[in-house]
Amino acid sequence: MEDIKEIKNMKNNNKSLIKVFVVGDKFKCFAKNKNIIGISQLEKMVSNGNITLNNHYQIYIGQGVCEMQIKKIHQRINKMKLNKRFEIIFPDFYQKSSKCLTHKQKNENIMISDPLKLSDGEFKCHLMLNDNCAEMSDHVTGHHIQGMVVIEAARQMVLAISEKYLIDGKSGKPNFLTNSVNADFKRFIFPLQVEAIAKIVEIKKSIGNNLICSMLITFIQNEEECVSLICKSSILDSNYVEEKESNLAAQCINTYLSSSQRLN
C-alpha cells in the first residue's frame, strides 16, 4: 500500500495523467526521485490492480529493466484489463542486438539495441541495460550509470556494427582486438533513455577479412553529448590470432620461469 501512496503523490500538471520512468531495482538511489519507480514497485502496483486508482499512469522504460520482465507485466495489464490505469510505452528500438553480433553468451550482458545504419559510415544504437549484466553484478553507486558500463557498451557497438556492416561473415569467424579506447566523460548519464551514435573515423582493409577501424562513439541524453569515445580495433583472421596468442603466452610463461626473482 505504501508503494501505491508514493506513486499517487507524484506531481504532474495533468492530474489524470502521470508520466513515470521504470528503472531496474539496482538504481534504487535514482528511483527516489519523483516520477521514477523501480521494476519491483511497478509489479506491486499491477498486482494490486483492484485498488482504486484515479490516475492513468503512462510508463516509459529506463535502464536496468529486463525486457522479458516488462513484457510479462504488460501481458498482465492486458489480462487484468488495467489498460485504463497503466500504459507501458514501448520505444521503437526495443529490440536488443543479438549474441552473435555482440559476442555475448548471456542475453543480460547485451547492452545495446540492434545497430541501425543512418548513412555511409554512421550508425545508431540505444542503451538497453539489464540489472543482471556482468558490469553491474556487484553494486551500483549514486544516481548515474558508471563509466565502465558505458565503455563496455561502446565496445559492443564496435563489434555489432563491424559484424553487421563492415565484414563479410562468409569468410569465417574473425577475432576482434581492441587497440585503444580514449574516453571523454562530459556529463553524467542517468538510467533513462540513451542514444549512441557511431561514426567511422578511419578504416583500413587488407587481405581477406582483416581491417583496422577507428570509430567515434557519442552517447547522447536529452540531446546533450554526455560521453564520447574513440575506439580503435583490429579485425584479424582467427587462425592468425590464435597462433600469435599461443606463441606469446608460451613466451610469457618461459620468461617468468627463467627469472627466479619474479617467483619469490
- Quick: pLDDT tens for 144-183: 999 999 999 999 999 999 999 998 765 667 889 999 999 9
For residue 50, the model assigns a pLDDT of: 52
Q: In what order do the strands lie in the sheet with 122-126?
A: 116-119, 122-126, 195-205, 211-221, 224-237, 174-185
Confidence of residue 264 (pLDDT cuts 50, 70, 90): low
Distance of alpha carbon 166 from alpha carbon 203, whole angstroms: 10
Domain with CATH 3.40.250 in the chain: 2-89
| Residue 23 half-sphere exposure toward CB, CA atoms < 13 A | 25
The secondary element (H helix, E strand) that includes residue 137 is: none
In percent, how much of the chain has pLDDT > 90? 64
For residue 170, the model assigns a pLDDT of: 55
Residues in the chain: 264
pTM of the model: 0.87
Architecture (CATH level 2) of domain 2-89: 3-Layer(aba) Sandwich (3.40)
pLDDT at position 215 over 90: yes
pLDDT at position 8 over 60: no
Q: 3-state DSSP call for residue 49? A: coil
185-208, pLDDT tens digit by residue? 999 999 999 999 999 999 998 776
Where are the extended beta strands (E) located within 115-194?
116-119, 122-126, 174-185
Domain with CATH 3.10.129.10 in the chain: 99-238
Distance of alpha carbon 262 from alpha carbon 264, whole angstroms: 6
CA-nearest of 14, 27, 101, 109 to 54 is: 14
Residue 179: count other Cβ atoms within 10 Å of its Cβ. 11
CA dist 25 → 28, 155, 173, 227 (Å):
6, 25, 37, 24
Backbone region of residue 136 per phi and psi (left: phi > 0; alpha: psi in -120 to 50; beta: other values):
alpha
For residue 210, the model assigns a pLDDT of: 82
Distance of alpha carbon 220 from alpha carbon 199, whole angstroms: 14
pLDDT at position 28 over 50: yes
Q: Cα-atom radius of gyration of the chain, to the nearest Å?
A: 22
Confidence of residue 1 (pLDDT cuts 50, 70, 90): very low
> What phi and psi values does residue 207 have, to the nearest 5 degrees?
-60, 140
Distance of alpha carbon 187 from alpha carbon 226, whole angstroms: 5
| Residue 244 grid coordinates | 600469435
| Residue 6 grid coordinates | 508514493
Q: Which of 8-12, 81-85, 102-106, 125-129 has the lowest mean pLDDT?
A: 8-12
For residue 247, the model assigns a pLDDT of: 92
CA-nearest of 161, 157, 165, 166 to 210 is: 166
In this structure, are residues 189 and 221 in contact, taking their beta carbons and an 8 Å threshold? Answer: yes
The residue behind cell 581491417 is 211
- Any idea what DSSP says for residue 168? -
pLDDT at position 20 over 70: yes
Superfamily for 99-238? Hotdog Thioesterase (3.10.129.10)
For residue 45, the model assigns a pLDDT of: 87
In this structure, are residues 254 and 215 in contact, taking their beta carbons and an 8 Å threshold? Answer: no
- Any idea what DSSP says for residue 64? B
